[in-house]
């Protein structure tokens, strides 16, 4: 018996499809797809959430000092003249950051192998690069989903059948996070 469904695609196409669907599921919380695809996506997503739950508290808080450019009231950098050149003025700020311990860092990198990068574009700037921001799905896994599912022992997703698709009568389902 096969260990996975081939979904009528080559290995590269199948891998891309599954990565896209897992990323969409974790970003939006639910997706509509066929039953066979949903069962494959469910395996991958549950593994990622389980890894996040296992490593959710595996970090330490570290204080770092960072040089930050000084900005004026308009948000522009303040310049000063040093040796006849205009140079940006910096100030040192103390920040406290999370530093992953080795096992959490390994889990983070394993998740990044599976998940695609997500770029969110505001609705008023469709088609423009300005004000786009990259969403960190791995951080969402660790900070949002891991605490939510910490007391569960699996079963993070559910499949709800919604009927057959009109064109080819394939069983369509909603795959959602519980």
pTM of the model: 0.84
List the CATH code of the domain at 11-58+101-177. 3.90.1030.10
Dump strand ranges (E) for 48-110: 59-69, 79-82, 85-88, 90-100
- Length in residues, the chain: 178
CB proximity list for 28: less than 8 A, separation 6 or greater? none
Which residues of the chain does CATH 3.90.1030.10 include?
11-58+101-177
Q: What are phi and psi of 8, to 5 degrees?
A: 65, 30
pLDDT digit string (tens) for 8-59?
999 999 999 999 999 999 999 999 999 999 999 999 999 999 999 999 999 9
pLDDT digit string (tens) for 61-119?
999 999 999 999 888 899 988 888 999 999 999 999 999 999 999 999 999 999 999 99
* Residue 31 three-state SS: strand
């Amino acid at each position: 018996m096969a260990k996975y469904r081939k979904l009528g695609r080559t290995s590269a196409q199948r891998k891309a499809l599954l990565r896209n669907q897992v990323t969409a599921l974790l970003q939006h919380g639910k997706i509509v797809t066929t039953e066979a695809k949903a069962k494959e996506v469910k395996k991958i997503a549950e593994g990622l959430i389980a890894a996040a739950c296992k490593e959710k508290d595996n970090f330490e808080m570290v204080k770092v000092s960072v040089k930050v450019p000084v900005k004026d009231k308009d948000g522009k950098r303040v310049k000063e003249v040093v040796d006849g050149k205009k140079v940006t003025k910096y100030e040192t700020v103390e920040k406290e950051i999370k530093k992953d311990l080795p096992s959490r860092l390994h889990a983070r990198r394993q998740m990044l192998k599976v998940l695609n990068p997500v770029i969110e574009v505001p609705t008023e700037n469709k088609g423009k690069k300005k004000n786009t921001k990259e969403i960190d799905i791995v951080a969402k896994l660790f900070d949002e989903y891991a605490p939510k599912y910490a007391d569960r022992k699996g079963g993070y997703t559910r499949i709800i059948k919604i009927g057959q698709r009109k064109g080819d009568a394939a069983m369509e389902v909603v795959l959602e996070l519980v």
